[in-house]
Structure 1
Amino acid sequence: MGSFMSKRRSLAITAGAATIALALTACGGDSGGSGGDTADGTSGEPITLKVTVFGAGGAEGDADGNNNLFRQYEAENEGITIEETNLGDGGKGLEAAQAAIGAGGVGLADVMMVEEGWLGTMTPLAADTFVDLRDFGADELEGRWIDWKAAQGTTPDGQVWAYGTDVGPQGLCFNQTQVEAAGIAKDRDELAEKLGGADATWDEFWEVGAEYTAATGEPWIGVPAFAFNAFVNQQDEGFYTRDNELNVEGNDALKGFLADIVEQQAAGVAGQINSWEWTNEDFHGSFGVHVCPGWMLGSISEAVKDGGSDVWDFADVFPGGATNWGGSFFAVPKVSEHQEEAAKLAAWLTADEQQITSFKNAGAFPSQVKAQSDPAVTGFTNELFNDAPVGQILASRAEGVVAQFKGEKDSVIQDKVFGDVIKQLNAGAITSADQAWQAALDSLTAQGIE
């Protein structure tokens, strides 16, 4: 895919078109790594830095293309040109990265976005593939990130191979117009209370959903795969154990929740929209709620601002409690011919000020300690979501969140195994819980995941 230059907008969700998956983001903070008077510290010659990203995460600007961080960096660093390429969704990004690494690094950018779900694949390759950012000032940035985020970008032997951008604490986006008309709740606080507040459970979520569907004739949740992803991330151990053992076969929790989706879909409470395949119109009466880590707000902004009559909002509640879905990093491949300048850019993008800008652009909640508590974040409201205090809500939803261990094939299992099973459910090709679970196990075997 070619480079997306200066005025590339955040990815729009256009009617009739599938959208991007896993819009995770590049963010930033204090002044770490700002470049210099000349582009290249050794030659003084202008240079071009190639950057790969995916999704609509904030570095490329807001829903209208404003506040592009790459253009800002160019303006502040004479002689630097940035060519950013958006690889689409996280799955496509991983496939492209693996192909390039398999070819000896040919095709890797100078600065490469890495998604949380890739960690199990990339961390073991870090020593051979990515520079040790300690060679370019990483030690001076110690304390910038929350502990578990910093640990994710560090190998067991101490190599700092990636700088963290965002994290994905989850709240609940909801169609306030439809939820109120259905008699469920008149506002975000009442909805949170209706679902159980801090003690909200998935059982209560489905029960309220049944009320909504009975009143409206429409599904409560439109994208069932997102509910499944959220549930998986809430478990103490997900698709892998902490010892990096596959944790699917015999996993009664995952099997049970997949059965819940089958049951709720049969009852009309869960819809049949595939991940990232909604249209703008779907957000105006087709379903009531949407699973929303912070970065999802950026992904659906086009849909809720398209002029429809329904108002969307964001609630400080999530069934099953606190959980993290997603988050990204920037790494510098060893094949880069401009490692020093690439490392400076990665540090700048993940510093507090830039992290806050990305949050405002796309809702991606910062992983930086200072940025998380900055008034620009905690006091931020989003007019596209009924002026919801999204900064305050995401800070609340982040309390108690610790990222789950991600194994080598984690993102493949999410997208290609269970994602495909739920697509078959949506299409009516699978109609029972037993069929669904067996299809997942068969898919693991077919893909050689053991």
Structure 2
Amino acid sequence: MKPSRRSPLAKAAVLAGSIALLATGCAAEASKDAEPASADNPITLTVTTFGTQGLDTLYEQYEKDNPGITIEATNIDTGGNALTDWKTKQAAGAGLPDVQAVEEGWLGQVMTVSDSFTDLREYGADEISGEWVDWKVKQATDPEGRIIGYGTDIGPMGICYNAKLFKDAGLPSERDEVAELLGGDDATWEDFFKAGEDYVEKSGEAFYDQSGFVWNAMVNQLDEGYYKADGSLNVEGNTELRERWDLLSEAASEGLSANQTQWDWGKGQAFVDGSFAVMPCPGWMLGNVKGKVESAGGDSSAGWDFADVFPGGPANWGGSFLTVPATSEHPAEAAKLAQFLTTASSQATSFEQAGAFPSNLEAQKSEAVTGANEMSEFFNDAPVGEILGNRADGVKAQFKGPQDSVIQEQVFGPAVQAIDSGTDGASAWDKALATLQELEIK
């Protein structure tokens, strides 16, 4: 046998493709709960989430309301690292929690092994599916009609901006004025980058933090992204994708990107030192902005605000699901917990805690979401829930193929870093396509 010539990247992609075989061979058949948890029958439920989801107070409430239940929660810093954690444990057929959070970007990989997750219809999911936006439920339904996840948040997008920096640059700084500056109801990416060029010229500083988040938003708002709706790959020859790439790379060459490290931002310092002035923000990102500002010693006086506008039209980035792996020894109790964490009242609490905009229809209309809260106070009293509700109008669920997150992180991740570091857009695009071929992604 000849030795493999595959690179480490290619091997990483193959790992995802082999999950189904490994999981089938290793996963044990989990038994149903013998009896409900109680003080006399204590049960520990393990939960793995990621990022900022605003669930901690809900865990405490659930334990209080359900004697005998203890929740052991693990929160992984990013969705990408959570994906690695899940793939490793899924392939081994061991170590998975009772409740596993799944990010929209890697739901396609999960769906290739959907039979290794509990069908929540066994615990009434089909009877309450109307509580969530319909496309969220469809995303979590496999080809056999099995519902494998309760929807948590969705990621409609607005623009976070620093009003103080806009004002210092001589640009409009009021929320409605900024929305108009960026193009208003008919905002385009050309409008966004033109405003950015004006800001860079007047301030001498970058406009947005780094190109990766902008690119993600540009891709997510297309009718079809890295995959077509029929499941076929949609990168090479995709003129819409290439046109957007050219716009982004030109903006980077004009100094609009601050070339910040994703998810770090100099330990949050870049949010308070004027390094950049705007960033694309789905609801869950608001909690990240607030947390990073505070970690750098800042507060609401740092000047961050939230505008009801988004270039290119409605876009959704992210959103999660709570699933119950079939390896859970307590699937009924795990399903009950997952359902509780995604009820209207629970999603309203998550929004107040982390800005995670609900997929639950009742929660979207609740006073906790549409009214004043801690998140809106931080963002200069912006009606963040109302804005996110507006931005959710017209959002469509984009089909996410099995290697969607791999393409985003391993193919275009290095490419956006390259254009931020001075590589011309055409060369970075060609390198991305070469990596796509190397990974043998289909």
Bin the TM-score by the shorter chain.
Answer: 0.7 to 0.9
Whether 2:437 is the aligned partner of 1:437: answer: no
- How do 1:280-291 residues align onto structure 2 when only pairs under 5 Å count? 280-284=268-272, 285-291=274-280
Instruction: Tell me how far 1:354 sits from its aligned partner.
Output: 0.5
Structure 2's unaligned 5+ residue stretches are 1-33
Q: Which protein is richer in helix relative to its size?
A: 2
Amino acid at match of 1:404: Q
Q: Which residue of 1 aligns with 2:50?
A: 54
1 CA distance for matches of 2:198 and 2:419?
23
2 CA distance for matches of 1:357 and 1:338?
26
DSSP-derived class of the 1:330 partner = strand
- How do 1:108-187 residues align onto structure 2 when only pairs under 5 Å count? 108-127=96-115, 129-187=116-174
DSSP-derived class of the 1:69 partner = helix
2 CA distance for matches of 1:356 and 1:53?
18
Instruction: Tell me how far 1:211 sits from its aligned partner.
Output: 0.8
Q: Which residue of 2 aligns with 1:397?
A: 391
2 CA distance for matches of 1:225 and 1:320?
17
Distance 1:331 1:175, change over 3 A: same
- Counterpart contact for 1:195–1:319, Cα < 8 Å: yes
Q: Which residue of 2 aligns with 1:73?
A: 62
Residue identity over aligned pairs, in percent, reads: 50
2 CA distance for matches of 1:178 and 1:115?
33
Structure 1's unaligned 5+ residue stretches are 1-37, 61-67
1 CA distance for matches of 2:293 and 2:305?
10
Instruction: Tell me how far 1:194 sits from its aligned partner.
Output: 1.4
- Equivalent in 221, 234, 243 of residue 247 of structure 1: 234
Query: If the length of structure 2 is used for normalisation, what is the TM-score?
Result: 0.88
Whether 2:395 is the aligned partner of 1:417: answer: no
- Counterpart contact for 1:227–1:291, Cα < 8 Å: yes
Superposed CA deviations along residues 323-373 of structure 1, whole A, max 9, x for unmatched, are: 100000001011111111001000000101100000001111000111111
Instruction: Tell me how far 1:42 sits from its aligned partner.
Output: 9.3
Amino acid at match of 1:384: F
Amino acid at match of 2:106: W
DSSP-derived class of the 1:193 partner = helix
Q: Which residue of 2 aligns with 1:33?
A: none
- Counterpart contact for 1:178–1:310, Cα < 8 Å: no
Q: Which residue of 2 aligns with 1:4?
A: none
Instruction: Tell me how far 1:250 sits from its aligned partner.
Output: 1.1
Which range moves more in the overlay, 152-161 or 173-182? 152-161
4+ aligned runs moved over 4 Å, structure 1: 41-44
DSSP-derived class of the 1:167 partner = coil
Instruction: Tell me how far 1:43 sits from its aligned partner.
Output: 10
Amino acid at match of 2:283: G
Calculate the aligned-residue CA RMSD, in Å. Answer: 1.7
- How do 1:1-400 residues align onto structure 2 when only pairs under 5 Å count? 40-41=36-37, 44-60=40-56, 68-104=57-93, 106-127=94-115, 129-279=116-266, 280-284=268-272, 285-305=274-294, 306-307=297-298, 310-381=302-373, 382-400=376-394
Query: If the length of structure 1 is used for normalisation, what is the TM-score?
Result: 0.86
DSSP-derived class of the 1:94 partner = helix
DSSP-derived class of the 1:57 partner = coil
